[in-house]
Chain A
Amino acid sequence: MFELILQALYSGLLVGGVYALIALGLALTFGTMRVINLAHGELVLLAAYMAYVVESRLQLNPVFAVPLAVLVACTCSALVYLLVDRIRKNRELNSLMLTFAIGIIITNAVLLIFSGDVRSTGSPFMQDAVQLGPLFSMKSELGAFVVSLVLVLALWQWLSRSWYGRAVRAVSSNRDAAKLMGINPAKTELISFIVAGALAACAGVALYSSSVVHPPLGHALTVKAFIITVLAGVGSVPGVLAAALLLGVTEAMTVTLWSSALQELVGMTLFLVVLLVLPNGLFGSAKRRG
């Protein structure tokens, strides 16, 4: 039993790393534009199917799909930005409807082109088992986790060291003050959407390589990313990473100890409990507004 729990903990952490990539993209665009991109998970879905295309048509390892996936997801993310940017009236509400619709369109386009079948990598190399002490995983799961951590760290460095990374944080923190510093918020918003698209692309390829994908996955991922951002309560990179790992572990524990049918329910329950008990999230302190 103990080994089983330890293994669930490990598997949960591995998938949590990928969740962090997805949630950070959502948090980034929410920060700069104050808009929740409900099509964010669908960008991940698109990227995952690019990996499927590269593997099934070109007989290449799905890792080689990263450039194509980045191109497609970044382009779509930029298009979402351009459409949201055109909303002048009541943007908070109307952008929800717009991005929700974009998500539905992407999901159905994927369904139309690739059918509703469940897809996953056929590469024996990726599915090889690796052992870490008493813990097992597929090579691709461990690889996805390591790559995710590296990308999360890279994002953190970008946000704290580069001029435009800091501009993203400045716009998120105080839009008018950022303008006074000479920052063009529109340009900064576009950059945040492109970076979010790139992160989503990597997450999509990682999910295809280490797990299974099918058209409804996009919507489920959007919900997970949203749960994680609310759990974290702050836009900080470590906070989102911790919340993502927590969600991954909680889900894996549920599957091991209870039933895989309850996996999504437990995530939602965690979300509701945190909202009720800690409305500012796990890491957000009570903030003065105004």
Chain B
Amino acid sequence: MLKVENLRAGYGAINVLWDVSLNFPLGELTAIIGPNGAGKSTLLKAVMGLVPTTQGSVSLDGYPLTDRATWDMASLGLALIPEGRMVFRDMTVEENLTMGAFPKPHRAALGRNLERVFGLFPKLRERRRQLAGSLSGGEAQMLAMGRGLMSEPRVLLIDEPSLGLAPVIVREIFDILRGLKQQGVTIVLVEQNTRMALGLADGVYLMRAGRVILAERAAAVDIDRLHDLYFAREGAAGDVADAVFK
């Protein structure tokens, strides 16, 4: 279980997450949905140590992660696939992927994983010698994803993989996520495309304004109620702040 407990985090004087607690069972795909500014991306970054936390803890199978440096996470089996803008623009596609295998234990399998990623994203093989800065938005997103898979993570955090992409590519990316889930990878998916996320997820969290306002099994989600909460419509119960899967 990847466990987030009472986490408070933010950027300097601006606090974003207000004591959020979430559980991510191993082997499952958990979706985090919510409007812009809900703190979804900040949560993923805080788990990886990219955003400083002021309170609370993160642990993986009881092993504390809160005080570990971001660069230790890859060796511990965690990977964050950030938005496509975070590729190494001045490096080629292949060099970007190679950096995904930087931690020493992963270097031996570099060739095999490169082939695997090129198999998943044939477009990247075509563009392997091209600078990442010259890729289209969709290609950069695929590159960010491929790079994250190069370390064969046990736990994969993904930030809005469908953002700004054509529906065909979004479907492709969701197919790949389904495949990873079948291989037993634990996935935390931050996504604005609620319907697609629900189709794939085992559990769902809804966040708004830095708090968790709903936690439910995906199969049990009432879409209308979810949307009411999502858009903070009048009359919707929005104070289940401590909702957590047990």
Contact = CB atoms under 8 A, between A and B. Distances in A.
A180 B48 contact: yes
Contacts of B170: none
Nearest to A173: B88
Nearest to A285: B133
B71 A169 contact: no
Interface stretch (A181-189, A222-230, A267-275): A181-189
Interface string B62-98: 0000000111111100011010011111110001001
B86 A174 contact: yes
A145 B151 CA distance: 42
Interface string A213-247: 00000000000000000000011000000000000
Interface stretch (B99-107, B190-198, B214-222): B99-107
A172 interface: yes
A195 to B, nearest CB: 18
Contacts of A167: 99, 102
Contacts of A166: 91, 95, 98-99
Nearest to B89: A173
Contact of B91 (A169, A287, A290): A169
Contact of A180 (B82, B89, B98): B82
Contacts of B74: 180-182
Interface string A253-290: 00000000000000000000000000000000001001
A247 B95 CA distance: 32
| Consensus secondary structure, chain A interface | helix
B70 A235 contact: no
A173 B86 CA distance: 9
B90 A173 contact: yes
Interface residues of B, number: 29
* A interface, size bucket: 20 to 34
Interface string A147-186: 0000000000000100100110110111011111111110
Contacts of B176: none
Given A166-B98, A176-B50, A182 B89 contact: no
A172 to B, nearest CB: 7
B100 A181 contact: yes
Contact of A182 (B75, B85, B87): B75
Nearest to A163: B102
Contacts of A176: 50, 70, 82, 86
A214 to B, nearest CB: 38
Q: Pick from A163, A179, A181 the residue with the most CB of B within 10 Å.
A: A181
Contact of A169 (B48, B86, B90, B100): B90
A172 B90 CA distance: 9
A185 B89 CA distance: 18
Nearest to B70: A179
Contacts of B102: 163, 167, 181-183
B183 to A, nearest CB: 21
B107 A183 contact: no
Contact of B79 (A174, A178, A180, A290): A180
B151 to A, nearest CB: 7
Contacts of A179: 50, 69-71
Q: Pick from B48, B72, B91, B151 the residue with the most CB of A within 10 Å.
A: B91
Interface of A: 160, 163, 166-167, 169-170, 172-174, 176-185, 234-235, 287, 290
The 6 closest A-B CB pairs, nearest first, are: A182-B74, A182-B103, A179-B70, A173-B88, A177-B86, A173-B90
